[in-house]
Amino acid sequence: MSLRLKDVVKEYPDFKLRIDLRVNKGELVTILGPSGCGKTTTLRVIAGFITPDKGNIFVSDRSIEHLPPHKRQIGIVFQDYALFPNLNVLDNIAFGLKMQRVKRILREAKARKLLKLVHLKDYGGRKISQLSGGEQQRVALARALATEPRLLLLDEPLSALDAKLRKGLRGEIRRIQRELAITTLYITHDQEEALALSDRIAVMRNGKIEQVGSPQEIYNEPANLFVAGFIGQANILEGTVRSIERRYALFNTALGDIRVPAPRSCYPGRKMHLFFRPENCTIRNSTPAGNKGNYIRGVVAGIEYLGEIMQLEVVSWNSRFILRLRGCPPLAAGDQVVFSIKADNCRLLPATR
């Protein structure tokens, strides 16, 4: 089943949500954004807990706005599990089926099947208080899936768990989502989680989606400064487009001219921002004669060893850059360095869309 939010608007005194989004059949789309950007409001609108002021919600091209939450056939997993402490694991999972008056033998068979799917085969008789946080979240997922929902909504399902458990469980969620091919909307403020899990990511800010794309697109081709800065580490340098020649622009910055692919939106004289990722920089022994190419001179202000990778902080005039280098060149704080960035690894971005 596909999900479509069409021009949905929800307004509060200090906040306005305006959203248009499509999740294709069997796809896992993540809504990623900072606290307060409207992620949970979006999910609650889809689930039917909040009535939007305008717009439509379609599941497989049929409008669902008029349906109460329990008739929308949507499975939801919350951050805080929300399991019933007085029921054992099996009864928690079978709860929705009981409400639908499914016969005991059938609902228990279904719950057992789901326990197997979430790798908790022998846990059916346990009390909820006898489960770890990760196990409780698996039960919550099984419970959300028991009624065979048309859509699965996950609201920061891993944020109460520790880092190691989060990584393990996000892989599990992805496996189960793929196995069932269930259309899923996943909410998180954790960019690493979004990059690891998603078919596509919708980056949200101030109630609006700034960009929707595959993890690679969002990481390598951010639509604006906000997206570039929110996902991974970004090096940014202000400047003005000096000239355009075929596919490339010469971009004038306080640190010299940088050659970059010219986006359609650029024209000579336009103020924009140069963006490049830390891993796309190469340390040079010297600046070649004539200073042709994308070279920046600076001083090493900090070094961090991250296993195989060395992270340098380089200061050049009043700009600061992060470089991530494979291997560990013999450098120390205070050393003068020259680094280069290939033109094709640079992007020019507007401040906003």
The residues binding ligand ATP (CB under 6 A) are: 12, 15, 33, 35-41, 189
Rounded least distance, CB 54 to ligand ATP, Å: 16
Q: Which residues contact 55 (CB under 8 A, 6 or more apart)?
A: 5, 6, 7, 8, 9, 19
User: Which lies closer to ligand ATP via its Cβ, residue 159 or residue 311?
Assistant: 159
DSSP character at residue 127:
B
Rounded least distance, CB 47 to ligand ATP, Å: 12
Rounded least distance, CB 17 to ligand ATP, Å: 7
User: Which lies closer to ligand ATP via its Cβ, residue 35 or residue 285?
Assistant: 35
Nearest CA-CA partner of 255 in 136, 175, 340, 191: 340
Rounded least distance, CB 13 to ligand ATP, Å: 6
User: Which lies closer to ligand ATP via its Cβ, residue 205 or residue 259?
Assistant: 205
* CA 34/CA 157 separation, integer angstroms: 16
Rounded least distance, CB 208 to ligand ATP, Å: 12
Contact of 222 with 212, CB cutoff 8 Å: no
User: Which lies closer to ligand ATP via its Cβ, residue 189 or residue 277?
Assistant: 189
Nearest CA-CA partner of 341 in 277, 272, 248, 264: 277
Q: Annotate 189-202 with DSSP letters as a single string.
A: S-HHHHHHH-SEEE
The structure tokens listed for 6 are: 């069409």
* CA 342/CA 167 separation, integer angstroms: 33
Rounded least distance, CB 339 to ligand ATP, Å: 36
Pairing of strands 235-245, 208-213: unpaired
* CA 249/CA 181 separation, integer angstroms: 44
Strand order in the sheet with 208-213: 62-63, 54-59, 3-12, 15-23, 208-213, 200-205, 28-32, 183-188, 151-155, 74-77
User: Which lies closer to ligand ATP via its Cβ, residue 114 or residue 203?
Assistant: 203
User: Which lies closer to ligand ATP via its Cβ, residue 21 or residue 325?
Assistant: 21
User: Which lies closer to ligand ATP via its Cβ, residue 195 or residue 296?
Assistant: 195
Rounded least distance, CB 117 to ligand ATP, Å: 28
